Amino acid sequence: MTEEPLPTCQADMKYDVLARAGFARRGNLHLPHSIVETPVFMPVGTQGTMKGVVTEQLVGMDCRILLCNTYHLGHRPGHERVKAAGGIHKMMNWNRSILTDSGGFQMVSLSKLMTVDENGVNFESPHTGEMMALPPEKSIEIQQALGADIMMQLDHVIHVLTTGDIVKEAMHRSIRWLDRCKVAHTRDDQAMFPILQGGLNLDLRKECAEEMAKRAKVGIAIGGLSGGEEKDHFWRVVAACCAALPPHLPRYVMGVGFPVDLVICSFLGADMFDCVYPTRTARFGTAMVRRGGLMQLNQKRYKEDFLPIDDKCECNTCKNYTRAYIHSIAGKETVACHLVSIHNIKHQLDLMRDVRQAIQSNSAEKFLRQFLFDYYGPIQSENPSKQDTEKVREVPQWVRDAVDHMGYTLDF
């Protein structure tokens, strides 16, 4: 049996749903540089790199897709230079898939430096102090120069807790900007995803989903979340958007990276996620683990703990280094950030692999129960008596409500 060739144009890019379990889907997204298995977590290389991690290491973890930031790459080194280098794939030595965001998120994260009107967004560069106009057409021009497999439309992002008429205005403006992006999109070897807006208003979200689904060809994103909203609102928006979108489009929930959020959103029907969290938290010596959630390796309790971060993890860090070693260099040597970043990225990729396997084998409820039991339980310790005294955390009510919405039950 021969391998299916990778698509060379947007018309051939497709999403195959291979298995279902409740609302969840296990699928393959066919892109020009790789077939991406979903649900998938995409590590973030803001300026074409992750701190202390090289692309060969990502390939070794079987990472199929990562995210780069249009706003930052547009400023430094500049999209013209990236294009002259042969595109972002060649420049960063990565022959698998890339998704570039549009720059719209910086409306919120850099709001003190930003103004927005119908024409687009105006930024003051935090690097040079120069003003940068970013209309929808310019965002697409930059992304086409970068050459990612997936581009994102420029959307009007407002803070998720914003209320009033501006929420509806930003949603409708995002639809209008999508139409402008579609006109500006001329490269046939790149897909473009629309981005749903509508704040926490489920009616606006459904209206936006209906309009944008008509315009989506390969996939679609759910934007405007993970900005400080209550988790009870977060999961309900994700669930409503997934229910409103057609099944042939992969659903990308932007900015999601906490393990519990990844698992819950996957079982609500979402397919793609990204976040800087695994590498950002690694800078502080914090490792992600299945049992207990987070391991603060800079704490004194790990001073003489000679276990790996996770004895079931196959990453290079867990195969070769102990908690005690990382504790001794955390916050002192940059290699500590590198070691924990490697583990954290592998942790996220492995978690999504296990989610896919649970969907494929129709054991989603069993997996969900075990994952939540472990996550909210005690961290594994070299000293069993110390582990037994660790406090078991209560499963949050929003998680229980989301699980109930899925039709599953928790027996603890």
CA–chain centroid gap for 350, Å, is 14
pLDDT given for residue 1 in this prediction: 40
Instruction: Given the residues 261, 271, 274, 310, select the one marked as catalytic.
Output: 274
Residue 396 region, left (φ>0) first, then alpha (ψ -120 to 50), else beta? beta
pLDDT given for residue 288 in this prediction: 98
Instruction: Given the residues 101, 149, 261, 305, select the one marked as catalytic.
Output: 101
In the residue annotation, 310 being an active-site residue is answered as no
Q: Which residue ranges are tagged as binding site for Zn(2+)?
A: 313, 315, 318, 343
Q: Per the structure block, which two tokens stand in for 15?
A: 């999403």
Q: Which residue ranges are tagged as binding site?
A: 101-105, 155, 197, 224, 313, 315, 318, 343
Contact between 168 and 204 under an 8 Å Cβ cutoff? The reply is yes
What is the four-CA torsion angle of 156, 157, 162, 164, rounded to 10 degrees?
10
CA–CA separation, 200 vs 127, rounded Å? 33
Other Cβ atoms closer than 10 A to 7:
19
Q: Per the structure block, which two tokens stand in for 156?
A: 């009007």
Residue 44 has φ and ψ, to the nearest 5°, of -110, 120
Q: Per the structure block, which two tokens stand in for 170?
A: 């930003």
Alpha helices in 185-217 (DSSP H): 202-215
What's the longest Cα–Cα distance across the chain?
64
Q: Per the structure block, which two tokens stand in for 342?
A: 């490697």
Residue 382 has φ and ψ, to the nearest 5°, of -70, -25
Tens-binned pLDDT, residue by residue, of the chain (412 aa): 457 899 999 999 999 999 999 999 999 999 999 999 999 999 999 888 888 899 999 999 999 999 999 888 887 899 999 999 999 999 999 999 999 998 777 656 765 678 889 999 887 776 677 777 889 999 999 999 999 999 999 999 998 999 999 999 999 999 999 999 999 999 999 999 999 999 999 999 999 999 999 999 999 999 999 999 999 999 999 999 999 999 999 999 999 999 999 999 999 999 999 999 999 999 999 999 999 999 999 999 999 999 999 999 999 999 999 999 999 999 999 999 999 999 999 999 999 999 999 999 999 999 999 999 999 987 766 665 555 445 678 999 999 999 999 999 998 8
User: pTM for the full model?
Assistant: 0.95
Contact between 60 and 120 under an 8 Å Cβ cutoff? The reply is no
CA neighbor of 217 nearest in space, from 45, 9, 403 = 9
CA–CA separation, 190 vs 31, rounded Å? 9
Q: Per the structure block, which two tokens stand in for 4?
A: 């299916």
pLDDT given for residue 174 in this prediction: 97
CA neighbor of 8 nearest in space, from 189, 217, 191 = 189
Q: Report the amino acid identity of residue 121.
A: V
Angle subtended by helix axes 165-184 and 202-215, to nearest 10: 10
Looking at the chain, which residues constitute the CATH 3.20.20.105 domain(s)? 27-278
Other Cβ atoms closer than 10 A to 137:
17
Instruction: Output DSSP code: residue 44.
Output: B
CA–CA separation, 344 vs 297, rounded Å? 13
Q: Which residue ranges are tagged as binding site for substrate?
A: 101-105, 155, 197, 224
CA–CA separation, 412 vs 409, rounded Å? 9
- CATH classification for the domain delimited by 27-278, as one of 2.40.30.40, 3.20.20.105, 3.20.20.140, 1.20.1530.20: 3.20.20.105
Say which residues have a Cβ less than 8 Å from residue 339's Cβ, sequence separation at least 6: 317, 321, 326
Which helix or strand (DSSP H or E) is residue 21 part of?
A: strand 14-21
In the residue annotation, 117 being an active-site residue is answered as no
